[in-house]
Structure 1
Amino acid sequence: MTPTLAGSAQVQAQSIPPSPPFPDEVPSVPPPPHGPPTVPEPGPPEIIDPPLPENPVPVREPPYMPPPTALQ
């Protein structure tokens, strides 16, 4: 390495900020409580649709059409 490159590497190493501490080393963060887990608030009741009838719309059969007779 040339002297200028070595000098710039030292300056870069000094300008790097220290890494932040790990979460367990931060004193201002309180530990999670060890009590029973909180029960979430119940939501609105689920709306259940009434059961549909077997055939909600009556199916009409097509009118009877006699077979066409051959023209003589």
Structure 2
Amino acid sequence: MTDIVESSKGAELFPEFKGLFKLIKLEVDGLSDRQLDYTSTKWTWSDWSIRNQLSHMASLIPRWLVVRW
């Protein structure tokens, strides 16, 4: 386990997120704004657009830290 010190890097504290950017980029590269913003009430999984979901994922760690520290 990594000891947490003030100079700790995010990738050291959360190693599972190190490859997340590349994984997501491969999935969304080339999508149009219309595709990124698509929502539908037909399926519950499509209530959120891809853009909204990615924004949520990107803010998850900072929000988690703010709530707990």
Whose radius of gyration is greater, 1 or 2? 1
So what's the TM-score if we normalise by structure 2?
A: 0.22
Q: Which has the higher contact order (CA 8 A, sep 6+)?
A: 2
Instruction: Normalising by structure 1, report the TM-score.
Output: 0.21
Greater helix proportion: 2
